[in-house]
Chain A
Amino acid sequence: MDFQLNEEHLGAQEMVRDFVQKEIGPIIKEQDRKQEMADFILPRMGELGILGINLPVRYGGQGFDYITLGLVCEELEVMDSTLRVVMSVHMGLNSMAILQWGTEEQKQQFLVPQAKGEKVASFGLTEPGAGSDVAGMTSTARKDGDEYVLNGEKMWISLATKSDHALIVARTDNEVDPHEGLSAFIVELDRDGITTGDIHGKMGVRAGSTGWIAMQDVRVPEFNRLGEEGEGFKIAMSCLDNGRYTVGAGATGLIRASLEASINYANDRKAFGREIGKFQLVQQKIAYMVQWYEAARLLYLKAGWLKNQGKRNTKETSLAKWFATDMSFQAASEAIQVHGAYGYSDEYDVERYLRNSKGAVIYEGTSEVHQLMQAGYALGYREDGELRKELPAYDAEYWQAEA
């Protein structure tokens, strides 16, 4: 057992922390207020290599391991959830799926520009009428010669209007079991028949981009199909194993942000002649935040370690995501309580933390879905079968080699 992060982990963590503090910190409140994602963020994250952090150097990535991905997500979300959301969709839900399921040709064509940050990637699974009920989706992909014709609408898609490639899951067969009639496609969003838009009026992640993708007779070459026809559900679920990992790690960062803000305020603010940190009920809140942070961190690091080993981690990732997101909501709420009336105003960051925390309790499996999963594993109702292609274990030599 080794709890020590290595120099690469620490260096990457520090670099991302430095970046967000210097470049995002000064503008985040304003962006949140304007409900706009700042234009420079995605190109800057690409240029700095964050968008390819854990992809092999041979595919244009930075060659770091899956634990680093988690650490980076934690640092990003300490600043703002919208930054971590970028990693969830671009890396967790899309790029890592191409790494796992894609052919060498697909990796060259799609993964390389994504890893370099030249193309931004998103993930289209959810529909207006199908969230947790994935198999209930109605988007279709009809085979026509060596092309597919896609129709339908995807909803609550992060970076819908900002991304270049989307991994879209659609129904290719109506006859079979709904789980086996789905297929996954890498769709360039500049194809004819695609329209996208942003959704406004969200409670949180206002400095980010959440939108919809509508497809009307969009023709996509067969080359763009990820995995086999009918493998879409399995691919989507494997995507969630990676997306949820980034969400869990990020939510851990949100707990830390609430904790740090509370500590600062408790040391600063005086009431009844002393710092409010001297009061035991404030101390209790701080103590709980420490507990939640440390536990959430151990859970995601363990999931990251399993990924590094190439071991299946659906159960551990689900647990990490469920715990961290629930606790991030609670931590933000307690942080507001510590801040009193000031916490309730946008003078301080904690009200934003609370608004930002709620989304992740819902997406990528609601807390209720994760409870069912965990109970299912415990009671023996649920078991993960082997996949045709697993996420490759982290092999430093392979990852870091030029080709």
Chain B
Amino acid sequence: MANKVWVFVDQFKGEGHPASWEVVAAGRKLADEVGSGLTALVFGEGVEAVAQTAIHYGADEVLLADGAPLAEFRVEAYASQLAKLAQDDTPDVILFPTTTRARELAGMAAIDLNSGVLPDVIAMDLEGDTIVVTRPVYAGKLLAKSQCAAKPQLITLRARAFGKPEADESRSGEVKSVDVVVDEGTMATQVVDYATSDGQVSLTDASVIVSGGRGTSNRADLEPPADITDEKEQEIWRAQQGFLLIGELAEVLGAAVGASRAAVDAGYIPYTHQVGQTGKVVGPDLYIASGISGAIQHLAGMRTSKVIVAINKDPDAPIFKLARFGVVGDLYDIVPALTAAFKERLDK
């Protein structure tokens, strides 16, 4: 009998998207709850290795559709493939990661399967054989409990909402090759190329911002080059060393670099980086303020940030009142250590 719980593994150029493994792990849990095996779907060309990884993360079997028409992700092709498999084996639920690709795939497959899609879910509760999901709506201002009355229930899971998956390389399972049902002749699109996006993240679009303030110039023992003799220029040089550290942390986090007005006015960094009443008003998921005391005008520009982290030498700095996490310490010590810690954890 075919398994009732399926998961879709999103891969790009033969690499499983990390969020996929969280979905496999979440699917494993759900399958155990309902007493079913877990089937993972892996589509692509030459992606057998991805199928093996899916088993390591908890799949009992993998349906592997491997062939040229699936080499590049095209939502139409993937949806046809997925719908065909689901029509044949009638799973109750298919879980997807909330990546751009998988979300669209789930949406399109819902049409083929006369079912419904529940995107970007942060929690699942089983009620009978129906899964009641929780999903943020209105940009997270509200939570909706939602469910789908038809089968299969197509659900995409938000990354990092379902815990960290553990791979077990000793696990084994069956990889079943299935026929590729996509006929290239009927496809209306061709992926012709990729281009990387340009490096700098803009402040207003950034989901993570690392900011620096006056504290960036507070490292007196930093010795400026001999040719910088002017005291003000020495201060600016020191601050720039601080912003280099901030920039490195930002790079690891894919973040934008911000600054307080004090830092901008002192000439440490251009105005385009200024956050606050007189700069940009931002509301990222994560705001790391380093060496920023937190004048009210700066707070006005970033207080809606979801998680605020403050790093400051002065334990009485007002920024700590707003911060979810605070570190009383020198940004010159903490920021590089944090960069290293994230590098390790985010696998970069």
Contacts and interface: CB of A to CB of B under 8 A. Distances in A.
The answer to whether any beta carbons of A and B sit under 8 Å apart in the complex is yes
Interface of A: 29, 268-269, 342, 347-348
Contacts of B296: 268-269, 342
Q: Report, nearest first, the 4 A-B pairs whose CB atoms are least far apart.
A: A347-B297, A29-B278, A347-B277, A347-B278
B300 interface: yes
Contacts of B277: 347-348
Nearest to B261: A347
A269 B261 CA distance: 19
Interface string B22-37: 0000000000000000
Given A29-B278, A268-B296, 10 more contacts: A268-B300, A269-B296, A342-B296, A342-B297, A347-B261, A347-B277, A347-B278, A347-B297, A348-B277, A348-B297
A91 B261 CA distance: 39
Contacts of B300: 268
12 contacts: A29-B278, A268-B296, A268-B300, A269-B296, A342-B296, A342-B297, A347-B261, A347-B277, A347-B278, A347-B297, A348-B277, A348-B297
Contacts of B261: 347
B292 to A, nearest CB: 15
Interface of B: 261, 277-278, 296-297, 300
Contacts, number: 12
A315 to B, nearest CB: 42
A269 B296 CA distance: 8
Nearest to A26: B280
A217 B282 CA distance: 57
A268 B299 CA distance: 10
B278 to A, nearest CB: 6
A269 B295 CA distance: 11
Contacts of A347: 261, 277-278, 297
Contacts of A29: 278
Could you say which of A29, A269, A342, A347 has the most chain B C-beta atoms within 10 Å of its C-beta? Answer: A347
A271 B156 CA distance: 46
A97 B296 CA distance: 48
A165 B40 CA distance: 75
A269 B299 CA distance: 11
Nearest to A345: B297
A342 B278 CA distance: 12
A342 B296 CA distance: 9
Nearest to A269: B296
A348 B296 CA distance: 11
A348 B301 CA distance: 12
Contacts of A342: 296-297
Contacts of A269: 296
A269 B318 CA distance: 13
Nearest to A348: B277
A208 to B, nearest CB: 20
A273 B296 CA distance: 15
A131 to B, nearest CB: 36
B280 to A, nearest CB: 9
A282 to B, nearest CB: 16
Nearest to B300: A268
A269 B277 CA distance: 13
B299 to A, nearest CB: 9
Contacts of B278: 29, 347
B318 to A, nearest CB: 11
A347 B299 CA distance: 13
B302 to A, nearest CB: 13
A269 B303 CA distance: 13
Contacts of A348: 277, 297
Nearest to B298: A347
B114 to A, nearest CB: 42
Contacts of B297: 342, 347-348
A260 to B, nearest CB: 14
B194 to A, nearest CB: 33
A111 B214 CA distance: 54
Nearest to A268: B300
A200 B253 CA distance: 47
A8 B296 CA distance: 40
A337 B296 CA distance: 17
